[in-house]
Amino acid sequence: MLEVDLTNCDREPIHVIGHAQPHGALLVVDPKTLAVVQASASVFDHFGLVADAILGRSVLDFIPERAAEAFENAVADEDIEGNPTHLGVLALNARGPFHLVAHTFDGALILEAEPAEPRDETDYRTLPRRMLRALGDAKGSQAYYDAVVHEARVLTGFDRVMLYRFAKDGSGLVVAESAEPHLDPFLGLNYPASDIPQQARRLFALNTVRLYPDVDYRPSPMIPAANPLGDGPLDMTHCVLRGVSQMHTKYLQNMGVKASMALAIVQNDELWGLIACHHYSVRHVSYPTRAACEFLSRLVSLQVADKEAQDGSEYREGMRDRLERLTSRLYTTPDIETAFARGEETVLGLMNVGGVAVVDRDRVALLGNTPTVSQVRALVSWLALNQKEPVWSTSELRGGFAAAEEYAACAAGLMSVQVSQNSGTYLLWFLPEQVQTINWAGNPEKPVELSETSDRLSPRGSFELWQTIVAGQSRPWLDDEIAVATSLRTSLVEALVHRADEIMRLNVELQRRNADLDTFAQVAAHDLKEPLRGIRNYSQFLEEDYADKLDDEGRSQLQTITRLSSRLETLLDSLLRFARVSREDFGDVRCDLSQAVSEAQALVASALTRSSGEIVVHGTLPVVTGDLDLVIEIFVNLFTNALKYNESGAPRIDVSAEGAIVRVSDNGIGIPERHQEAVFALFKRLHGRDAYGGGTGMGLTIVKKAMERLGGGVTIESIPGEGTTFVLEFAP
């Protein structure tokens, strides 16, 4: 016989295990002749005959005469093929009574006889209704699971009943438990997939109910060992009395469990889970009770999918609602971070995750438990190169990205929504390592009776093995969650496109308005100059022609009119210049700043002489992007100001450059810091109208506007009383 250990238990051929449990007797009968061809050794205990005394004889010899015909009809029925069927309670070989279960399989008729319980107090008539009510009332899957184990325990009286559910990877989890209070709970325990090998699962799915009333049973071998009706040992796939696998027996013994029953929960022909019953002393379960258990397990098989679907749908509905609220915020907030990461309801609450990172270009916002900002940036860099689909998920990030090992505790699982690969805009959801969230209450101190071959065969051993298997992994992502993330991405992209359109529209609108404004300024300045000129001229003509008819006061008033109109004309000129600077299209030309400065110098030559000023250029000035006339205008304005706002008697202007940054420094009166922004405002002067030679307050406005048009900017450094430096940043 195959010696089974941990290395080969998945190849143990348990369906041809070759022995029966001794609490019943197993007969193999030739369907055609009804002769007994094989029997378990336990026939002696139950019928009082050794196997050899039965072999070869007709099975009818042992069945009461009045039952013979019914028996023959029943076994001829095709329905019992692979389908153990209760034939009734009857005496066999004048002993018993026995529950007789029959099925045919692989060309053999197999009869299994178990002693019938004399008295059974279970009210089997009301049982189904009671069970249906208890399970039907349960709201949500957890309440349902709890009801299932409760009903099973009431029905069977086992010390411990667990509902055990398989995950996609085959590992198991105890999701509900009803047990004697003094027992250590196994609720929340995870088992690796290898704990229940594939062949065992297959058999569970076929058998529905498996009972081992005494794990320390003495195996009752089949006699003869080989099935005369077939090839090799008897195929006991459907046998109720089939012997137990060695590994399972050892496992139960390690736990101190003496009797065990398992009820299969099957979904779509696959094992969904088990109702596992353990008892710490030998326990028989009568046939009728087992039949009720079968009813329970089939009922659960039918209902559990619905209950879980309900949970699933509640979660799904919840996510959809939250998603809707989040995406609507996209249209009213300026950016993703504000929409998703701020306020009471953030994207963290959208799904059951550990943490979320919202990455919008260079901004990273973290919510919940996440890797650090720099770790997230590194992850995004990797994703930018490797993520092929718009929505990608994994439950073991470190598998693809080794650096993720660092933070596997909080981010073993990742779902990445790539909004824009180019601009590095991502939404990242993180799931913690599964082992972090498992709270198994199993007692690590409790000594376990272990055989030498393996301490692996125990709940703790199972859990530790499971832990190593799932290390670095998160729970799997649900299809619903991936669907929600995909929806979110679509909405986000739509919102961004909408915003881009909106921005474009606003830009066009802005440009149009600017154009209108500039045209207006231009036209206004132009059209206003004409009557203005008229006023000046006529004031002058009046003065010339009628001077002798006016007294001093009259002449003075006329002069005032002239002076005021003059001022108005200067203001209009400045406005015109400003408007032209704003409006004109300069194109992509290059300008030699040395040339611009020397031409500006020439234009202010008379002012230089008048004020005894000098302009000194230090080193060479660069060639920058810009229109020459515009640049000259800038320097003319700065030079004019420098010469005007100076009390030293010897104004001096120094011009130097560092790269594309030019500094124009003077030794003038300076500009206090609190006014340094205001001086650029339209028509703003810091002094009285006629102070420092008067002025329109437009000079610096034009300088600033011109620098902006050239793609650069201007800033001020100044200490009142010491001078001012204008820092001009040109586009290189």
Binding site for another protein (CB under 8 A): 526, 529-534, 536-538, 540-541, 565-566, 569, 576
Q: Please tell me the distance from the alpha carbon of residue 658 to that of residue 667, in angstroms, as a whole number.
A: 20
The minimum distance between CB 389 and another protein, in angstroms, equals 56
b/e burial code for range 104-142 (CB count within 10 A of at least 16 → b)? bbeebbbbbbbbbbeeeebeeeebeeebeeebeebeebe
The minimum distance between CB 527 and another protein, in angstroms, equals 9
Query: Rounded to 10 degrees, what is the CA torsion of 658, 661, 665, 671?
Result: -140
φ and ψ at residue 618, rounded to 5 degrees = -100, 120
**Cis geometry, peptide bond prior to residue 224 (ω within 30 degrees of 0):** yes
The minimum distance between CB 540 and another protein, in angstroms, equals 5
Q: Which is nearer to another protein, 533 or 618 (CB)?
A: 533
Q: Which is nearer to another protein, 538 or 683 (CB)?
A: 538
CB 300 within 8 A of CB 265: yes
The minimum distance between CB 549 and another protein, in angstroms, equals 18
Q: Which is nearer to another protein, 529 or 684 (CB)?
A: 529
Q: Which is nearer to another protein, 570 or 648 (CB)?
A: 570
The minimum distance between CB 359 and another protein, in angstroms, equals 50
Q: Which is nearer to another protein, 389 or 545 (CB)?
A: 545
Q: Strand pairing of 36-40 and 713-719? A: unpaired
Q: Which is nearer to another protein, 464 or 569 (CB)?
A: 569
Q: Please tell me the distance from the alpha carbon of residue 683 to that of residue 95, in angstroms, as a whole number.
A: 122
The Cβ-side half-sphere exposure at 244, using a 13 Å CA radius, reads 26
Residues in a beta bridge with 160 = 179, 278
The minimum distance between CB 602 and another protein, in angstroms, equals 19
Q: Please tell me the distance from the alpha carbon of residue 645 to that of residue 651, in angstroms, as a whole number.
A: 9
Instruction: Name the residue among 466, 465, 459, 401 with its Cα closest to residue 428.
Output: 401
The minimum distance between CB 523 and another protein, in angstroms, equals 11
Q: Please tell me the distance from the alpha carbon of residue 206 to that of residue 209, in angstroms, as a whole number.
A: 9
Place of tokens 């596992």: 276
Q: Please tell me the distance from the alpha carbon of residue 284 to that of residue 217, in angstroms, as a whole number.
A: 12
Q: Please tell me the distance from the alpha carbon of residue 674 to that of residue 296, in angstroms, as a whole number.
A: 84
Q: Which is nearer to another protein, 512 or 526 (CB)?
A: 526
The minimum distance between CB 569 and another protein, in angstroms, equals 5
Q: Which is nearer to another protein, 486 or 522 (CB)?
A: 522
Q: Which is nearer to another protein, 331 or 538 (CB)?
A: 538
Q: Which is nearer to another protein, 341 or 591 (CB)?
A: 591
Q: Which helix (H) or strand (E) holds 41?
A: none
CA distance readout (Å), 103 to 18, 29, 230, 264: 18, 10, 16, 20
- What is the C-alpha R_g of the chain? 47
Q: Which helix (H) or strand (E) holds 624?
A: strand 623-625
Given CA atoms 285, 291, 297, 303 in this order, what sign does their dihedral have?
Answer: negative
The minimum distance between CB 706 and another protein, in angstroms, equals 16
**Residue 22 CB neighbour total at 10 angstroms:** 21
The minimum distance between CB 538 and another protein, in angstroms, equals 7
Q: Which is nearer to another protein, 265 or 579 (CB)?
A: 579
Q: Which is nearer to another protein, 500 or 564 (CB)?
A: 564
The minimum distance between CB 559 and another protein, in angstroms, equals 14
Cα 320 vs. chain centroid, distance in angstroms?
Answer: 15
**Cis geometry, peptide bond prior to residue 197 (ω within 30 degrees of 0):** no
Q: Please tell me the distance from the alpha carbon of residue 391 to that of residue 419, in angstroms, as a whole number.
A: 9
Q: Which is nearer to another protein, 399 or 531 (CB)?
A: 531
Q: At what angle do helices 628-644 and 593-603 cross, to 10 degrees?
A: 50
Q: Which is nearer to another protein, 30 or 518 (CB)?
A: 518
The minimum distance between CB 378 and another protein, in angstroms, equals 56
The minimum distance between CB 536 and another protein, in angstroms, equals 5
φ and ψ at residue 661, rounded to 5 degrees = -105, 120
The minimum distance between CB 372 and another protein, in angstroms, equals 59
Q: Please tell me the distance from the alpha carbon of residue 429 to that of residue 717, in angstroms, as a whole number.
A: 48
Q: Please tell me the distance from the alpha carbon of residue 210 to that of residue 245, in angstroms, as a whole number.
A: 12
